[in-house]
């Protein structure tokens, strides 16, 4: 059993095998009570204002799972710099994202919420895993190809090895479950492959993680081009930001691209715009697509867009309200992030030390 005492917060951490036995935090720190819960890890990049896609595909699911797992929610700022960021804006967005996690219902006293760049284990394990990843595997990653097309003037090595850093994020904590949108399936698969390869050589070091994909809204599409994923780095009218004002949400919904027919039915191939709106309503209002098709029989696209706007506003307004309050106390947010980064660092040593021993660094 490993016992860690973290001097600044007097948090005591007992780790036995794969089980966090007790983590008692201070006001700003986490409290994970004695439990045998499995470990959940996920992250979001502070590369822009979060979108409805990030909310439905990821954050909302974090919320549903936070009681069942020991959760680690990371602000993955190291991933964000694979695309050029303005430093002062990135600094603000890191805090903004931590605040959005909390405002969306993630309890900062129960979950470990911290910034990736404050825990060096991510970068350390990333390097080791780079040496266990084949270029042929990375060449197959579709997100790299998409990002290259979007940023032809900055095709950097970080963009190419992004999936390895993501594997390091996940494997660093013995993660069992990774809730992500379906766009991250390929990256999760490579994380599993790298872990399996490493374990095949050195024995059982890494837990092989499973993905968790919600029932609806695993791929929210762009409002201006419903054949593409909604992305925070896309053009303004293509996404709804989690912090958009209600009138902005209504305007964007009104302009959402549909088709030249009039019938409201779910058909991703023939009617991607209408299907996207139906999926958004279904995900946020907990109604099935079939029920919605019945509800909108004989109605027009204007009705559908109004309903989509209502549902999105109702979901985001309380989050926005809470977010505003949290951002008014940046000192609290920063203290919470600093304390949690210390705890995450201590946690990361367990796997990192094991890896270093196995490969001959210790
Ligand atoms: N459109 C989406 N539908 C469902 N889930 C989505 N996610 C992102 N977009 C959608 C999920 O949100 C989590 C965090 O994503 P991320 O910010 O780390 O990276 P991303 O997938 O590259 O998101 P963006 O918005 O497209 O960012 P940029 O524009 O910076 O590249 C992930 O679980 C993701 O699946």
Given pLDDT bands bounded at 50, 70 and 90, which one contains residue 313? very high
- Across the range 207-223, mean pLDDT stands at 89
CA 205, CA 144: separation in Å to the nearest integer? 28
Say if residue 24's pLDDT is above 50.
Answer: no
CA 48 to ligand 1: nearest atom: 30
Per residue in 172-212, pLDDT (tens digit) is 999 999 998 888 999 999 999 999 999 999 999 999 999 99
pLDDT in the model for residue 93: 96
Strand pairing of 210-212 and 19-23?
unpaired
Say if residue 302's pLDDT is above 90.
Answer: yes
Say if residue 12's pLDDT is above 80.
Answer: no
- Across the range 10-36, mean pLDDT stands at 49
Given pLDDT bands bounded at 50, 70 and 90, which one contains residue 28? very low
pLDDT in the model for residue 183: 87
The DSSP code for 238 is G
Choice among 133-142, 149-158, 309-318, 321-330 with the minimum mean pLDDT: 149-158
Partners of residue 44 on adjacent β-strands? 75
pLDDT in the model for residue 52: 97
Q: Nearest 10 degrees: CA dihedral of 67, 72, 73, 76?
A: -170
CA 47 to ligand 1: nearest atom: 30
pLDDT in the model for residue 66: 94
Q: Is 110 known to be catalytic?
A: no
- Across the range 341-347, mean pLDDT stands at 97
Quote the tokens at residue 229: 């994923």
* Mean pLDDT, all residues of the chain: 91
Select the highest-mean-pLDDT range: 5-19, 22-36, 285-299. Answer: 285-299
Task: Give residue for tokens 């409805």.
Answer: 52
pLDDT in the model for residue 8: 37
SS3 assignment, position 137: helix
Ligand 1 centroid–CA 313 distance in Å is 20
CA 67, CA 62: separation in Å to the nearest integer? 10
Say if residue 35's pLDDT is above 60.
Answer: yes
Ligand 1 centroid–CA 297 distance in Å is 32
CA 170, CA 153: separation in Å to the nearest integer? 30
Q: Which residue has the higher pLDDT, 132 or 15?
A: 132
- Across the range 140-158, mean pLDDT stands at 92
Per residue in 225-235, pLDDT (tens digit) is 999 999 988 89
pLDDT in the model for residue 217: 64
| Number of C-beta neighbours around residue 208 at 10 A | 14
pLDDT in the model for residue 296: 95
CA 119, CA 141: separation in Å to the nearest integer? 26
pLDDT in the model for residue 151: 85
pLDDT in the model for residue 22: 47
Residues with CB under 6 A from ligand 1: 44-45, 47-48, 51, 53-54, 56-58, 180-181, 183-184, 218-220, 229-233
Quote the tokens at residue 175: 């993660």
| Number of C-beta neighbours around residue 256 at 10 A | 24
pLDDT in the model for residue 36: 80
Q: Is 330 known to be catalytic?
A: no
């Amino acid at each position: 059993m490993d016992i860690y005492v973290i001097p600044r917060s007097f948090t005591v951490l007992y780790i036995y095998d794969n089980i966090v036995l007790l983590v008692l935090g201070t006001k700003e720190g986490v409290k994970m009570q004695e439990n045998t819960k499995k470990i959940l890890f996920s992250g979001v990049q502070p590369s822009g204002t979060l979108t409805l896609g990030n909310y439905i595909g990821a954050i909302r699911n974090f919320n549903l799972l936070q009681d069942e797992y020991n959760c680690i929610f990371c602000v993955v700022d190291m991933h964000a710099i694979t695309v050029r960021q303005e430093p002062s804006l990135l600094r603000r967005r890191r805090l903004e994202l931590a605040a959005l996690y909390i405002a969306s219902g993630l309890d900062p006293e129960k979950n470990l919420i911290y910034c990736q760049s404050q825990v060096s284990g991510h970068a350390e394990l990333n390097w080791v895993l780079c040496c266990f990843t084949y270029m042929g595997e990375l060449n197959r990653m579709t997100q790299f190809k998409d990002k290259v097309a979007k940023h032809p003037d900055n095709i950097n090595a970080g963009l190419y090895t992004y999936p390895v850093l993501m594997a390091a994020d996940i494997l660093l904590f013995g993660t069992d479950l990774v809730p992500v949108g379906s766009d991250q399936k390929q990256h999760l698969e490579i994380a599993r492959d790298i872990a399996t390869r490493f374990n095949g050589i050195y024995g059982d070091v890494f837990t092989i993680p499973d993905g968790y994909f919600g029932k609806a809204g695993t791929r929210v599409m762009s409002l201006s081009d419903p054949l593409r994923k909604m992305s925070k780095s896309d053009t303004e009218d293509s996404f709804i930001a989690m912090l958009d004002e209600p009138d902005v949400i209504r305007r964007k919904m009104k302009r959402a691209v549909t088709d030249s027919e009039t019938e409201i039915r779910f058909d991703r191939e023939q009617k991607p715009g209408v299907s996207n709106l139906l999926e958004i309503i279904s995900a946020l209002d907990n109604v099935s697509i079939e029920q919605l098709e019945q509800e909108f029989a004989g109605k027009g696209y204007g009705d559908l867009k109004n309903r989509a706007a209502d549902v999105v506003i109702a979901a985001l307004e309380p989050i926005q309200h809470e977010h505003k309050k949290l951002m008014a106390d940046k000192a609290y947010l920063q203290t919470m992030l600093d304390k949690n980064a210390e705890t995450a660092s201590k946690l990361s040593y367990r796997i990192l030390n094991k890896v270093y021993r196995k490969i001959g660094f210790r």
